[in-house]
């Protein structure tokens, strides 16, 4: 089998020769380097490579080229080799265009010219490209088929579960002729939707999350009965704890009830996370963190609902909803928070049928040409507004307060100000949602009590933060809002919490049960940012080691 190909295209012959030379020097033994002088020539080369059946691992394209710029070229190249990783070569003056390309054609990186020394500026980027490509290669992607109704809440939940777990799927609306044929072949009918058909032909009707996870190859059952560390929750804090726990030799298992990433995983673009100056989508960050944890040996269990926690001697035991249990020396709680329910008449009935909590990126194509409303004034709402502005005719952010400045980062407010089809309505709440089969209208109310009814098919809600701690017993001390108290916050007038059995004060991130640590948004007084959550996850592992040494 021939070597996979690294393709570079640049209309400047000197630059083209230079990048090809540097690539051959580092990757020549394992990859074949092909260069082209224009987008058209590069597409011809890709077509020939496709006919020969060879693989393309990565494409490096110059942004400024006559007749066809780098973005236009990469859009067409993706049709031929969708799994090839992509980077844009650009001058400093074109960095805005490069950042835009990250969103338009899912560019993985951009490189500033010149890239000397290549050991510092070129090779680390190409290393990341080829490593990502090797995870998938050019193998055909096995697709799961989902047949459902656009305005069916269960259908939306299936699509959202698959998307957030990075499972490729193809959606078929029940009204399409092909959907009717698939239902007939599956021996099903429209009353049984959603129907899921796996690549091997298995059929699931109205499946649960655990059934879907098992069917598409996600791990749901632990490989062992006892671990050094159980991490409950797969958001940034949980992923951080899993990476550091597994990398430091702890037998680590991460348990997530839905999909890794948490609220951050639903973010369309995180731009203030250290080390990603061009921003990174929550899905990309989550995927990299999950693969990193698994590379170090951490297990990841999906679609497992944890309903209880208790101490049994030196073991810490979590209980699953199906009655099974899992034990470890220590536990890190990183269950994050959920968006609060919008208290508006008719909202509950239309959830999943036009009313969505979180960004619900699977709905983006359906918003094309529509007027979309977003409730909330924090970063997650702002990031969603930027994302949906690329699809919707208009996006209106509804906030209860007098401005966004109290709750949203300054960079994001400035970004929203530059987007013409994004609008902000202050002192405004949603009083009622209307619709029969799906959302059709909203009744809005301002601070003077004046009401207005507007037409819309999509409302995305990003309000408040409710901690996921209802399953914890009374032994875990929480504050008045349900967030878990840790460390010094557990001491009342210098006294340790009731039931504390050790002759020391709780460690900084330790809960009222020794050996149970807390990280991220679920912790009382935590900073609600991705970076701090990851940091607390790493810090929790350090404290786990200290706890294990002191027992």
- Tokens at residue 228, please? 């050094």
Cβ atoms of residues 491 and 505 within 8 Å: yes
Q: How far apart are CA 19 and CA 112, in angstroms?
A: 12
Instruction: Kindly report the number of other CB atoms within 10 A of residue 66's CB atom.
Output: 8
Taking alpha carbons only, the member of 445, 219, 233 closest to residue 344 is: 445
| 217, pLDDT greater than 70 | yes
Which pLDDT tens digit goes with each residue over 342-394?
Answer: 999 999 999 999 999 987 777 888 898 999 999 999 999 999 999 899 899 99
Give the mean pLDDT of 267-283. Answer: 79
Q: CB within 8 A of 507, min separation 6: which ones?
A: 487, 517, 543, 546, 547
Instruction: Kindly report the number of other CB atoms within 10 A of residue 392's CB atom.
Output: 24
Q: How far apart are CA 127 and CA 108, in angstroms?
A: 12
- Tokens at residue 341, please? 């329910």
What pLDDT does residue 221 have? 95
What pLDDT does residue 163 have? 86
Query: What is the SS3 assignment for 364?
Result: helix
| 106, pLDDT greater than 80 | no
Q: How far apart are CA 321 and CA 351, in angstroms?
A: 24
Cβ atoms of residues 522 and 469 within 8 Å: yes
Q: Read off the pLDDT band of 97 (50, 70, 90).
A: low
What pLDDT does residue 273 have? 85
Reported as type and span, the H/E element at residue 521 is: none
Give the mean pLDDT of 518-527. Answer: 95
Q: How far apart are CA 42 and CA 20, in angstroms?
A: 14
Preceding amide of 243 cis, omega within 30:
no
Give, to the nearest 10 degrees, the angle between helix 236-247 and helix 282-295. Answer: 20
Q: Read off the pLDDT band of 142 (50, 70, 90).
A: low
What pLDDT does residue 472 have? 94
Q: Read off the pLDDT band of 94 (50, 70, 90).
A: low
DSSP-derived letter for residue 349 is H
| Pairing state between β 315-320 and 394-398 | unpaired
* Lowest model confidence (mean pLDDT) among 127-136, 226-235, 459-468: 127-136
- Tokens at residue 18, please? 């230079």
Which pLDDT tens digit goes with each residue over 13-69?
Answer: 888 899 999 999 999 999 999 999 998 999 999 999 888 888 999 999 988 888 888
In the predicted model, what is the mean pLDDT of the chain?
90
| 1, pLDDT greater than 70 | no
Domains and CATH numbers, the chain: 5-136 (3.40.50.2300), 144-216 (3.40.30.10), 226-338+466-550 (3.50.50.60), 347-461 (3.50.50.60)
Cβ atoms of residues 198 and 216 within 8 Å: yes
- Tokens at residue 4, please? 């996979």
Which pLDDT tens digit goes with each residue over 457-505?
Answer: 999 999 978 898 989 989 999 999 999 999 999 998 889 998 898 999 9
Q: Read off the pLDDT band of 297 (50, 70, 90).
A: very high
For 475, phi and psi rounded to 5 degrees? -70, -25
* Proportion of the chain above pLDDT 70, given as a percent: 96
Preceding amide of 117 cis, omega within 30:
yes
Q: How far apart are CA 551 and CA 540, in angstroms?
A: 16
Q: How far apart are CA 129 and CA 31, in angstroms?
A: 13
What pLDDT does residue 503 have? 92
| 107, pLDDT greater than 90 | no
Give the mean pLDDT of 523-548. Answer: 95
Give the mean pLDDT of 168-183. Answer: 90
Q: How far is CA 522 from CA 254, 282, 534, in A?
A: 16, 19, 13
Strand partners, 495: 492
Q: Read off the pLDDT band of 100 (50, 70, 90).
A: low
What's the pTM value of the predicted model, to 2 decimals? 0.78
What pLDDT does residue 29 have? 92
Instruction: Kindly report the number of other CB atoms within 10 A of residue 68's CB atom.
Output: 18
Taking alpha carbons only, the member of 177, 136, 143 closest to residue 163 is: 143
Give the mean pLDDT of 288-298. Answer: 92
């Amino acid at each position: 089998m021939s070597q996979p190909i690294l393709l570079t295209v640049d209309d400047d012959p000197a630059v083209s020769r230079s990048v090809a030379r540097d690539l051959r020097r580092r990757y020549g033994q394992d990859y074949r380097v092909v260069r082209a002088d224009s987008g058209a020539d590069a597409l011809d080369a890709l077509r020939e490579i496709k006919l020969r059946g060879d693989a393309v691992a990565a494409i490096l394209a110059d942004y400024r080229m006559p007749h066809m710029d780098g973005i236009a070229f990469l859009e067409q190249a993706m049709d031929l080799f969708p799994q090839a990783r992509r980077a844009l070569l650009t001058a400093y003056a074109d960095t805005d265009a490069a950042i835009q390309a990250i969103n338009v054609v899912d560019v993985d990186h951009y490189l500033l010219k010149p890239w000397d020394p290549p050991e510092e500026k070129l090779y680390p980027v190409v290393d990341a490209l080829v490593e990502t490509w090797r995870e998938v290669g050019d193998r055909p992607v096995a697709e799961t088929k989902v047949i459902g109704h656009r305005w069916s809440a269960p259908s939306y939940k299936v699509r959202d579960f698959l998307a957030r777990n990075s499972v490729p799927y193809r959606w078929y609306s029940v009204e399409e002729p092909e959907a009717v044929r698939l239902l007939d072949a599956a021996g099903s009918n429209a009353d049984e939707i959603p129907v899921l058909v796996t690549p091997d032909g298995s059929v699931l009707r109205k499946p649960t999350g655990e059934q879907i996870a098992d069917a598409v190859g996600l791990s749901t059952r632990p490989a062992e009965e006892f671990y050094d560390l159980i991490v409950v929750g797969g958001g940034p804090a949980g992923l951080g704890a899993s990476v550091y726990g597994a990398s430091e030799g702890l037998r680590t298992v991460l348990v997530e009830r839905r999909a890794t990433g948490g609220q951050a995983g639903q973010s369309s673009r995180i731009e203030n996370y250290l080390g990603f100056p061009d921003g990174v989508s929550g899905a990309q960050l989550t995927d990299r963190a999950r693969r990193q944890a698994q590379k170090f040996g951490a297990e990841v269990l999906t679609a497992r609902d944890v309903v209880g926690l208790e101490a049994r001697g030196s073991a810490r035991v979590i209980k699953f909803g199906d009655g099974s249990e899992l034990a470890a020396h220590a536990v890190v709680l990183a269950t994050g928070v959920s968006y609060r329910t919008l208290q508006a008449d008719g909202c509950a009935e239309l959830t999943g049928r036009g009313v969505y909590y979180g960004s619900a990126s699977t709905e983006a194509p359906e918003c094309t040409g529509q007027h979309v409303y977003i409730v909330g004034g924090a970063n997650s709402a702002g990031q969603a507004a930027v994302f949906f502005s690329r699809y919707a005719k208009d996006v209106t952010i509804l906030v209860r307060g007098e401005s966004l400045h109290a709750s949203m980062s300054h960079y994001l407010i400035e970004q929203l100000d530059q987007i013409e089809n994004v609008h902000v309505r202050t002192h405004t709440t949603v009083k009622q949602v209307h619709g029969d089969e799906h959302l059709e209208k909203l009744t809005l109310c301002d601070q003077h009590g004046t009401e207005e009814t507007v037409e819309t098919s999509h409302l995305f809600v990003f309000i408040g933060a409710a901690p996921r701690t209802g399953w914890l017993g009374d032994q875990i001390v929480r504050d008045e809002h349900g967030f878990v108290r840790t460390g010094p916050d557990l001491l009342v007038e210098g006294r340790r919490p009731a039931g504390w059995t050790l002759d020391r004060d709780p460690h900084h991130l330790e809960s009222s049960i020794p050996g149970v640590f807390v990280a991220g948004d679920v912790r009382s007084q935590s900073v609600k940012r991705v970076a701090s959550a990851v940091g607390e996850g790493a810090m929790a592992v350090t404290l786990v080691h200290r706890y294990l040494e002191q027992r």
